[in-house]
Amino acid sequence: MQYRTHDIPDAVLAALTSFETLPIPGTILQLDGTIAAVNAAGCGLLGRPADQLVGHKAWTFAPGLEYAWAELLRIARERGVYRGELAIATPTAARTIRYALAVHEAAGHAYAIGFGVDVTAIETGL
């Protein structure tokens, strides 16, 4: 598998095989905002290999997210999903991402699972 994991129980790791093969960028985060796993499409979107992402806080790559994180999790739990947009910093450029975030319980642990789409080209007309 191309992703690294950070503090994910073995029972959850079994489900990650299908997560890795998804063509849409995906990230699994601990509730404190630490990136626990990222699939190959997510690495491509963020322009970094998994070992530069996993174990770091999400706001390292999306500045300002730390101020909204608790509220995003609260809304995702209440509504089942939170949809939003954020700017991320990649090694080559800033990108605008539209994403969906859900909180999921597995093996006695809760995780935030996010999927995103790069809309930078759409918004800038490129």
d(CA 24, CA 7): 23
For 8-45, how does the pLDDT look when each residue is reduced to its tens digit (9 = 90+)?
A: 666 666 666 677 788 899 999 999 999 988 999 999 99
Q: Which domain holds residue 53?
A: 10-83+101-115
For 57-104, how does the pLDDT look when each residue is reduced to its tens digit (9 = 90+)?
A: 999 988 889 999 999 999 999 999 999 998 888 888 889 999 999 998
In a domain, 79, yes or no: yes
| Secondary structure of residue 11 in the 3-state scheme | helix
In a domain, 22, yes or no: yes
The total of structural domains in the chain comes to 1
Structural tokens at position 72: 């995003």
Inter-residue contact 112 to 103 (CB < 8 Å): yes
CATH number at residue 106: 3.30.450.20
In a domain, 25, yes or no: yes
Inter-residue contact 77 to 103 (CB < 8 Å): yes
Q: State the pTM of this model.
A: 0.83
